Amino acid sequence: MNKILAIVKKELFRFLTDKKLMLTTVLLPGLMIYGIYSFMGDGMANMLGTDEDYKPIVAVYNLPEDLNTRFKLLYMEQTDVSNLSLDKAKEEIAAQTLDLVVYFPEDFSKKIEEKSGLPEIEIYYNSVNNESAKIYQFVANTLTTYEDSLANAFTMNSKGETYDLASDEDMSAMIYSMMLPMLLLMFVYSGCISVAPESIAGEKERGTIATLLVTPMKRSDLALGKVISLSVVALMSGVSSFLGTMLSLPKLMGSEIEGMSAAVYSMMDYFLLFLIVISAVLLLTAVISIISAWTSSVKEASTAVSPLMIVVMLIGVSSMMLTGERMSTLFYLIPVYNLVLCMNGIFSFSYELSQIFVALGMNLVVTAILVVILTKMFNSEKIMFSK
Amino acid sequence: MKTILHVEGLKKTFKLSKKQQKIEKTKQKLKVAVNGISFDAYEGEIFGLLGPNGAGKTTTLRMLSTLIKPDEGDALVDGFSIVKQPEEVRARIGFLTSELKLEDYFTPNYLYDFFSDLHNVPKDVRDERKKELFERFEIDKFAEVKVANLSTGMKQKVSLVISIVHDPDIIIFDEPTNGLDILTAKVVTDFLIELKNSGKSIIVSTHIFSLVEKICDRVGIIIDGKLVVCEKLDTFLNGMNLEDRFFQLYEETVGGLHE
């Protein structure tokens, strides 16, 4: 026990006092993700959004009496068209000095009344101009509603209430449960690969592990000490990336969903999530440690762990295809995949505690088996002293 | 005299690569590095393993220190088997070879404490011993300099000190003075003699004759993986100097130097 502690202390000292390494593996990932997502979110909002106070300028020709009230309700300014020819108005639309032209045929009302033929309304707009595109939508909607009212069979969603009843919670849950399991898994994985190859393959490469192997320490103590300490560092890196994502995802999605926030989850949700992440870190660190122990240099180890990255990513992506249906507990016995299931469940408020504990237990068992394998590898002269 | 190390029939083979088989013009897939070595070393003496490069000295010492396992045979270190009780053996020996490196990132001071922890040395004993050893090898001035920034000689001195943090009764040194200047080499050889005088048993391997003549009580000579001689240095020398006696023996065994 004391020796495991000594190893853990030494490894943590190695990583935590290394400012450069801390910066690149712990501080930067979180900051970068926060920065990039926020920037992307702001950018998208700017691109799609319009100036709230701007009153679009619209040229309306031959507006029928019936539509007068409906058009007055629209937030726009009708310009005087007595001196503006249609062609001139179109030019102004192209030049973005005018936002919309609505042209009713002169006999519009008459044709409607007599039900003779289909009168054509022409609406000119400029899709590059956000304000123009927006007011085009409003006018088109108004006209469609007017058309519906003429037919007068039934109306739909015309009372101006909020008909989309999804709550902020549901919206957040959907987005988070689609994106975060994959992102989290990748963050944890990249946290692991930034420290484990260095600490195990690196020690082999530099010949410093032999110095440890001639001390009367149990090989299992060494394996456990390494896995625990590397997990701590990987966890720090993972948590940093996670915080960056959690805090900036609402900004990234903000242009589409209002009221999205990481605050919809309870402390219990976060606590369970933390347990899941810890078990993910332990499991992945053990896997990468084994790969690192098997290779003979940091470079070789980094090459060897990249195919696994693809597998982990694919498993992560599978969270996007989960339909929210409850899966059989058997699926929670599959290591790594069960992490995705659990995280998806937590983010979409549809988990069952017993299944999460099955997954946690299973991952712990697998990690223990991997540590035993690592111990055997530390014991094998062929593996430890092969170059 | 108490037998502190009993070696019996140690054998170690390594696999040869296809290319290496061609170079050596052999169809044998295995290269015998150590071929059934047996000897005893006694408490309180310095036993020297002497032999040319590639004779199997280092492989023998690596087996004794339990870094690698013998294919056949066994050795008892203070009564503990290197095959069956490797942890007990490791707790009783101090092993130093150039193969054992120290991590560049740490300072001698940190590493000393770390390895003391791994050897279960109590804190007060550790601090006292550290002060003594650091002063003796003039490491005290460099105690807080990262290993990466130490000179080669200083690194080797730190390695030596760290290999004996637990004050072992049996000390196994592979080429203890290799790469050291004569001043540092003298510090090391003097230290070995001092350890012997305080009752420790020491096994050294070397190809340096003067070192053997200066410090060894008994000597074992390894040629091509076999121990051809194992006796008291005086008996072996029989009035000749070591170099001449060695060539004489080599000719008797292998049959001339240039064959």
Residue B239 has pLDDT above 50, yes or no: yes
In which residue are the tokens 């003039």 written? B138
Q: Which residue has the higher pLDDT, A244 or B109?
A: B109
CB A281 within 8 A of CB A363: no
B175 touches B97 (CB < 8 A) = yes
Q: Which of A348, A364, A166, A174 is nearest to A282 (CA)?
A: A364
Query: Token digits for A145?
Result: 């509603």
Give which of A212, A214, A383, A384 to mutate to test B binding, by max B Cβ within 10 Å: A214
pLDDT surpasses 60 at B258: no
Give the amino acid at A196.
A
Kindly determine whether residue B100 and residue A214, on different chains, have CB atoms separated by under 8 Å. Answer: yes
At B254 the pLDDT is 78
> Does residue B203 contact residue B37 with C-beta atoms inside 8 Å?
no
At residue B259 the predicted structure's pLDDT band, cuts being 50, 70 and 90, is very low
| Distance set, CA A249 to CA A176, A270, A348, B182, B188 (Å) | 8, 16, 16, 66, 63
Among A279, A346, A284, CA closest to A312: A284
Facing residues of B206 across strands? B50
- Of the candidates A206, A217, A381, the beta carbon closest to that of B118 is on A217
CA distance A156 to A148: 9
Element (H, E) at A234: helix A219-253
CB within 8 Å: A208 and B102? yes
* AA identity, residue A272: L
Sheet containing A122-124: give its strands across: A77-79, A57-61, A100-103, A122-124
For residue range B169-214, list pLDDT tens digits in order: 999 999 888 878 888 889 899 999 999 999 999 999 998 888 898 9
Fold held by B3-100+168-254 = Rossmann fold (3.40.50)
Cβ pair A15, A233 in contact under 8 A: yes
Of residues A208, A217, A381, nearest to B67 (C-beta): A381
pLDDT > 70: percent of chain A: 91
B78-89: per-residue pLDDT in tens?
999 999 999 999
Mean pLDDT over A268-287 rounds to: 92
**A214 with B95: Cβ contact below 8 A:** yes
| Mutant choice from A215, A378, A379, A383 vs B, greatest count of B C-beta within 10 A | A215
Chain A residues in contact with B65 (beta carbon < 8 A): 214
- The partner residue sitting opposite B114, judged by closest CB among A2, A6, A207, is A6
The pLDDT of residue B190 is 92
- In CATH, the architecture of A57-151 is 3-Layer(aba) Sandwich (3.40)
**Yes or no, beta carbons of A216 and B88 under 8 Å apart:** yes
Per-residue pLDDT averaged across A330-357, rounded?
89
Task: Provide the β-strand partners of residue A103.
Answer: A61, A122
Identify the pLDDT of residue A260: 63
Residue B107 has pLDDT above 90, yes or no: yes
Query: What stretch of H or E contains A101?
Result: strand A100-103
Q: Residue B13 carries which side chain, given as an amino acid letter?
A: T
Strands A77-79 and A57-61 come out as parallel
A interface residues, B as partner, C-beta within 8 Å: 2-3, 6, 10, 13-14, 18, 203, 206-208, 210-218, 381, 385
Distance CA A349, CA A353 (A): 11
User: What are the tens digits of pLDDT across the range A165-181?
Assistant: 767 677 777 777 888 88
When comparing pLDDT for A265 and B81, which is higher?
B81
pLDDT score of A371 more than 90: yes
Residue A281: pLDDT above 90? Answer: yes
The residue-averaged pLDDT of B66-89 equals 93
Report whether B233 contacts B204 (CB < 8 A). no
- Comparing alpha-carbon positions, the chain A residue that sits nearest to B107 is A14
pLDDT band with cut points at 50, 70 and 90 for residue A82: confident
| Choice between A198 and A81, residue whose per-residue pLDDT is larger | A198
| Chain B residues inside the 8 Å CB shell of A3 | 117-118
- The count of CB pairs under 8 A between chains A and B is 65
Residue B154 backbone phi and psi in degrees, to 5: -65, -40
Quote the percentage of chain A above a pLDDT of 90.
31
Domain ranges of chain B: 3-100+168-254
Query: How far is B196 from B173, CA to CA, in rounded Å?
Result: 13
The pLDDT assigned to A197 comes to 92
The β-bridge relationship of strands B170-174 and B72-77 is unpaired
pLDDT tier at A257, thresholds 50, 70, 90: low
Q: Which residues are CB-neighbours of B163 under 8 A, at least 6 positions away? A: A214, B94, B95, B96, B100, B171
CA distance B159 to chain A (A): 9
Q: Of residues A300 and A78, which shows the higher confidence score?
A: A300
What is the average pLDDT value for chain B, to the nearest integer? 90
pLDDT of residue A377: 94
- Give the C-alpha separation, B58 to A326, whole Å: 62
> Which of A157-171, A202-216, A265-279, A367-381 has the weakest average pLDDT?
A157-171
pLDDT of residue B116: 95
pLDDT over threshold 80, residue A58 = yes
How does strand B30-42 pair with strand A100-103?
Answer: unpaired
pLDDT reading at A102 higher than 60: yes
Residue B226, phi then psi, degrees to nearest 5? -120, 145
- pLDDT for the residue numbered A238: 87
* pLDDT of amino acid B84: 94
pLDDT for B179 equals 77
R_g of chain A computed on alpha carbons? 31
Average pLDDT (A87-115) is: 87
Q: What does the angle CA B192 – CA B198 – CA B201 come to, to the nearest 5 degrees?
A: 60
- Predicted confidence at residue B183, as pLDDT, reads 86
List the one residue out of A252, A250, A262 whose CA is nearest residue A40: A252
Q: Chain B contacts of A10, Cβ < 8 Å?
A: 106, 110, 114
Query: Mean pLDDT across the stretch A305-319?
Result: 88
- Using a 10 angstrom Cβ sphere, with 0-12 exposed, 13-18 middle and 19 or more buried, the burial of residue A236 is buried
State yes or no: pLDDT of B137 exceeds 70: yes
* Polymer length in residues for chain A: 387
pLDDT at A160: 63
What is the nearest CA distance from B249 to chain A, expressed in angstroms?
34
Pairing of strands B226-232, B218-223: antiparallel
Contact at 8 Å (CB) between A122 and A103?
yes
- In chain A, residues with a C-beta closer than 8 Å to the C-beta of B163 are 214
- Mean pLDDT score across all residues of chain A: 85
More reliable by pLDDT, A167 or B137: B137
Chain A residues touching residue B115 (CB < 8 angstroms): 211, 215
For chain A, give every residue range classified as CATH 3.40.190.
57-151
